[in-house]
Amino acid sequence: MPCGIYTGMSPSLTDAKRTFDPMTDLHPVRRALLSVSDKTGLIELGKALAERGVELLSTGGTAKALRDAGLAVKDVSEITGFPEMMDGRVKTLHPMVHGGLLALRDNDSHVAAMDEHGIGAIDLLVVNLYPFEATVANGAGYDECIENIDIGGPAMIRAASKNHAFVNVVVDVQDYDALLAELAANDGQTSYAFRQNLAQTAYARTAAYDTAVSNWMADALAAQAPRRRAFAGELKQTLRYGENSHQQAVFYTDGTNRPGVATAVQHQGKELSYNNINDTDAAFELVAEFDPAQGAACAIIKHANPCGVAKGATLIEAYKAAFDCDRTSAFGGIIALNQPLDAETAQEITGIFTEVVIAPGASEEAKAIFAAKKNLRLLTTEALPDVTAGGKTVRQVAGGLLVQNKDNGFIDMDDLKVVTKKAPTEEQMRDLLFAWKVAKHVKSNAIVYVKDGATVGVGAGQMSRLDSAMIAAKKAERMADALGLAQPLTIGSAVASDAFFPFPDGLMEAAEAGATCVIQPGGSMRDDEVIAAADEAGLAMVFTGMRHFRH
C-alpha cells in the first residue's frame, strides 16, 4: 500500500513531551502521512490539513494527486534515502517511518533516539489498503490476488494504532469529516478519546482485511476445515433492540454483496428492526428459489417461516394465492417477490398491514402507492440471490462457532426416484418440486402441502413430523372455512417433508388430510414400511436422497 512519511525534525519534541499528557490533554497534529488507494475526499482533506499548517507526507499516486491539486508534499524516498523498489513492495517498511509512528513522545529514551537518528514524529496517518476484497470479488486469478495483499499499509496502521496516545490513524473515508470537525473544535488538536476510537476502528479494519485474505486462501486451497478461521463484518446499522426490547443489537455486513436485505435500497418507512432483517432475509432467499423467467412468485414470511408461497401468471395472482394459504399469519408479515413490484400488486398489498416488501425493483407507480403507508418499508435490489451459489453459514454456540456450507442443494425431475407402485402425474410432479423448494426454507420438522403451485398448509418447527402434518392440515381447514370453500385445499394436494418419515404415522396423517402424492428424502430404517403404507393408501411417492433440515 502506498504510504507517505516525513523525516525532518519538527519544532521541538521536547516541548511536546513537556506539555502533553496522553490521558487527559489534547495533542496537536503537525505532520500527516497520507497514502490511499481510494482517493475519495483526498484533495479536500489535504487542503483542509494544509490550511491548518499541517505538513503533508506521501508516496506514489497519492502524492501525485495532492501535488496536482497544488499542495506541497514530501516523498517517502526523500526521507528514507531509498527509492520504491521490488514493484512497490518495499517503500514504507523503514525505521524512519515506523519510528515516527511508534515513538512515545513522553519517553526520554524514545525522544533521544529520534534526535540521534533524525526521525520526525508523525501525528496523523491516513491509509486505506490495497483493494484486495474487490480484486477477489472481480474474479481475479490467484497471482493477481496475491499481488493485491497489502503489507506496508497494515504494518503502519497497526503501529499508529498501538501509539494512539499520540497518533491519529484514519482508515475509512467516512471518518475524514469527523477528523476535521475534531481539529476545528480543538484548535488543531485531537483528544485522547477520539484517538482511541480511531485506533479501535483501525484494528478492526486490519483484522477484517486479514480475514478476507485468509478465507480467500482457504477457499483457493479447498481447505474445508482450516485450523484457524476468522470472521469479520462492517457496521451497517445500530438497531433499536434485538429480538426483544431488553436486548441490544447491531447489524453488520460481510462484504459479499449478495443481493438481499444487506445490500437492498430502502425507499421508505422507519428503520428495519432485528426481526425485520432476519425475516426479510428468509423471505428473499425463499422466493429466489423460483426463476422469474418461469413466472411470478411471492413468499410471505412470519417469524422466519413461510405462511404462504405461490406462483402465478402475474405478481398479483401469486400474492393472492400466497395470502390465501394463511391470511391470519400474513398480517404483519414480510412479503418477497421474484419480479419487480408493479402498481396493481402494490395496491393489493396495502389492503392489510405489512412490515416489509422486498423485490428486485419497483415501478414508480408502485412506490407512489406505498408512499401513503408510512410504516411500510419497501426494499429493492438489483437482482435475486443465486440459490445455487456456495458460501458459509455461521451460528454461535457457547464457547464456539458452528460453521457449515450454505444449503444450496438442488433437486430437479431427473433426481427423483419413484418408490411406490403409483407414479406421480406430470402435474403432481410440478407441485411436488414446488413443495420441496418451500420445505427447504421451513423450520424443521417441516411439512408443506401444495396444490396448483401454491402452499395450502405449512407445519413448521415441531418436535415430531406427525404434529407438523396435523398442524398444517388444521390450518388448511380453518382457511377453507374463512374462504367459504366446501373442503380444504389439502384435498388432492402434494406434500413435502424436509426429512424422512421415521414411521408411517406422519405419512398417514398427510393422506387423511387429502394428500395424493409425497416427496421426501428417504433413508429411514423403516423406508420399506413407509413405502408399503403409501402403496396401501394409494399414494404416489418419490425420494430425493437429500434432506433440508433447518434448525
- Domains and their CATH numbers in the chain: 26-221 (3.40.50.1380), 259-380 (3.40.140.20), 405-543 (3.40.140.20)
pLDDT, mean of residues 192-215 = 92
Bridge partner list, 297: 311
Helix (H) or strand (E) holding 152: helix 152-162
Query: What SS3 state is found at 538?
Result: coil
Q: Please, which pLDDT band fits residue 103 given cuts at 50, 70 and 90? A: confident
- Is residue 378 within 8 A of residue 267, CB to CB? The reply is yes
Query: In whole angstroms, what is the distance from residue 218 CA to residue 227 CA?
Result: 10
Contact 451, 492 (CB under 8 A): yes
Given the C-alpha cell 526521507, which residue does it identify? 79
Give 111-152 pLDDT, tens digit per residue: 777 777 777 788 999 998 888 888 888 889 999 999 888 888
Give pLDDT, residue 6: 30
Radius of gyration of the chain (CA): 30
Please, which pLDDT band fits residue 364 given cuts at 50, 70 and 90? very high
- Report, as an integer, the average pLDDT of 526-532: 96
Q: What is the mean pLDDT of the chain?
A: 89
Flag whether pLDDT at 4 surpasses 60.
no
pLDDT-derived band at 82, boundaries 50, 70, 90? low
3-state secondary structure of 363: coil
- Using CA atoms, how far residue 258 sits from 254, 288, 383, 386, 395, in Å, is 10, 12, 9, 8, 19
Q: Around Cβ 81, how many Cβ atoms within 10 Å? A: 9
The more confident residue out of 481 and 89 is 481
List residues bridging with 542 in a β-sheet: 418, 519
Task: Please report the pLDDT score of residue 10 as a whole number.
Answer: 40
CA angle 531, 467, 416 (to 5 degrees): 35
Residue of 150 and 490 predicted with greater confidence: 490
Taking the alpha carbons at both ends of the chain, their separation in whole angstroms is 44
> Coil, strand, or helix at residue 56?
strand
pLDDT at 382 over 90: yes
Q: Check if the beta carbon of residue 69 is closer than 8 Å to that of residue 48.
A: no
Answer for the pair 126, 63: CB distance below 8 angstroms, yes or no: no
The amino acid that residue 380 corresponds to is: T
Count of beta carbons in the 10 Å neighbourhood of residue 143: 8
pLDDT over 50 (residue 303): yes
Looking at residues 277-300, what average pLDDT do you find? 97
Cell of 60: 506514489
Q: For 252-262, what is each residue's pLDDT tens digit?
A: 998 888 999 99
Residue 264 · residue 336 · CB < 8 Å: no
Short-list 295, 298, 299, 302, CA closest to 278:
302
Least-confidence region, from 100-109, 166-175, 426-435, 534-543? 100-109
pLDDT on residue 434: 97
HEC secondary structure over 377-423: EEEECCCCCCCCCCCEEEEEECCEEEEEECCCCCCCHHHCEECCCEC
- DSSP for 228-281 reads S-----EEEEE-S-SSSTTS--EEEE-S---SSTTTPEEEESSPPPHHHHHHHH
Question: Cell numbers 478476507 label which residue?
Answer: 212
CB neighbour list of residue 221: distance below 8 Å, 6 or more residues apart: none
pLDDT higher than 90, residue 511: yes
pTM of the model: 0.81
**Number of residues that this document lists for the chain:** 551
Of 447, 453, 443, 430, nearest to 507 by C-alpha is 447
Kindly report the CA angle at 123 between 122 and 128, in degrees rounded to 5?
85
Looking from the CA of 540 toward its CB, the CA atoms found within 13 Å total 18
Q: Cα–Cα distances in Å, from 50 out to 53, 198, 495?
A: 5, 21, 71
Catalytic residue annotation: 162, 303
Q: Are 75 and 58 in contact (CB under 8 A)?
A: yes
